[in-house]
Chain A
């Protein structure tokens, strides 16, 4: 007998396939378009994708797109920056100090599962109906996951590297800045991905409760009138915002973590 041995290896290793994600997305849109045109999806079930795109186009042409998008981006930027910034600081403090860890980890664990949206009325009382309460809600929502990701990342920094730093007489500040922070960066960045997604969710919620302009307010108005085209246009904006942020974060990761294998 003379035959090759059976091949049993391979697989279990993701390879990069370009364009397939976009194809799935476009295929779904085309099916929806076909269905709504052919009539087996009624207009009350799903709006026609082409109508949604036209609504978006009109919105952009009239300048209202920016009127809604501008304030939303501002709230997201301020809130997420505050929450993630303070979160990283507190996370590093917990990672480095046993006192902070013992004192704050139970508190963070108690705060984490609270649906932050439930606290919006409280924030309105504390900070007023204006921008501050929205900043506070987004900041608070991004704070807890950032803290948890950060102190986990600090805990995972290779102890031999810290030992090395000490053995060469590096100052504590140097060890934190040059060894602990860069070592924790992969974990902090992946925590940031989750935090930013939460920030978008909370942004929408805050704008639905008290805002004249903003994507959330736009969606709420459209929903109240059962105007599905505008509702979906708003949702598409949120989705696009999320994809863009994720893309930017991916670029930052590729740059900051280029030392990784």
Chain B
């Protein structure tokens, strides 16, 4: 399912947050959105996911989502958003309960997604007993369970340490290679963007505007940390963002 963001502008009171965003999100691609803090990149994601409404402009679906998708627009949150009173199994089950699927179908989906995220042995663990990386894998399993048409990932690896981040990036690439999915991936981490993004959208400081769109042709499976071509793109991105990041850092938060 292709998406089109059409002339989207948003204001919080007198403050313009996003200005005239036009963007196409093609099926089966990962679009990374990067930008200095406070540029409205997470807000953009909430518009795409239908959790907020823009002041003007709209997000258009160019076709119907696949019939088997239970929740076409599915978020993966930075702070995992797991219910602490439910086990790993229960957290995945939560998002299937309102669809009237029947117990055997739900059981099959839960077993399948837990196996795909290497969590089969931890089905009965509570979130408080899991590491950050495991928690985010539960959140990914939960998202897989509803067969999203578009993944909306809001800094999914930002709360994790550098090593865990590497491992989870490999997991995400593995999942995509097995079955390509469409994703909008918001991050401030440029290394993540060049590892996971087919297309990188650079937003400017508030009000967020699209400054540049960079396509990376290297297939996801062939990208590795420290790759010369990727490092060069990362440098280019940093060059684009440096001054703005500095200015954003100096700004008072309103």
* B84, closest chain A residue (CB): A259
The contact of A160 among B81, B94, B127, by CB within 8 Å, is B81
Contact B83 A179 (CB under 8 A): yes
Given A167-B49, A170-B95, do A259 and B81 touch, yes or no (CB 8 Å)?
no
CA distance A174 to B96 in the complex (A): 11
Q: Which residues of B contact A160 (CB under 8 A)?
A: 77, 79, 81
B97 within 8 A of A: yes
A164 within 8 A of B: yes
B85 within 8 A of A: yes
A225 to chain B, nearest CB (A): 53
Most buried by A among B70, B71, B73, B83: B83
Contact A174 B128 (CB under 8 A): no
Contact A259 B73 (CB under 8 A): no
The contact of A163 among B81, B127, B142, by CB within 8 Å, is B81
Please classify how large the interface on chain B is, using the bins under 10, 10 to 19, 20 to 34, 35 or more. 20 to 34
CA distance A226 to B19 in the complex (A): 82
CA distance A261 to B126 in the complex (A): 10
Contact A167 B73 (CB under 8 A): yes
B98 within 8 A of A: yes
The contact of A260 among B70, B98, B128, by CB within 8 Å, is B128
B74 within 8 A of A: yes
Q: Which residues of A contact B98 (CB under 8 A)?
A: 169-171, 174
Q: Which residues of B contact A260 (CB under 8 A)?
A: 84, 128
Q: Which residues of B contact A182 (CB under 8 A)?
A: 83, 85
CA distance A171 to B97 in the complex (A): 10
Contact B51 A163 (CB under 8 A): yes
CA distance A160 to B154 in the complex (A): 12
A54 within 8 A of B: no
* B99, closest chain A residue (CB): A169
B146 within 8 A of A: yes
Contact A178 B94 (CB under 8 A): yes
CA distance A163 to B51 in the complex (A): 8
Contact B71 A168 (CB under 8 A): yes
A244 within 8 A of B: no
A119 within 8 A of B: no
CA distance A161 to B81 in the complex (A): 5
* A173, closest chain B residue (CB): B98
A166 within 8 A of B: yes
The contact of A259 among B51, B95, B128, by CB within 8 Å, is B128
Report B82-104 CB contacts with A as 1/0, cut-off 8 Å: 01111000000011011000000
CA distance A140 to B133 in the complex (A): 49
* A164, closest chain B residue (CB): B81
Beyond contacts A163-B77, A170-B94, A259-B86: 19 other A-B pairs, Cβ-Cβ < 8 A, are A160-B79, A160-B81, A161-B81, A163-B75, A163-B81, A164-B75, A164-B77, A167-B51, A167-B73, A167-B75, A168-B75, A168-B94, A168-B95, A174-B97, A178-B83, A183-B85, A259-B84, A259-B128, A260-B84
14 contacting pairs across A/B (C-beta < 8 A): A160-B77, A161-B83, A163-B51, A164-B81, A166-B51, A167-B73, A168-B142, A168-B146, A169-B71, A170-B98, A171-B98, A178-B97, A259-B127, A260-B128
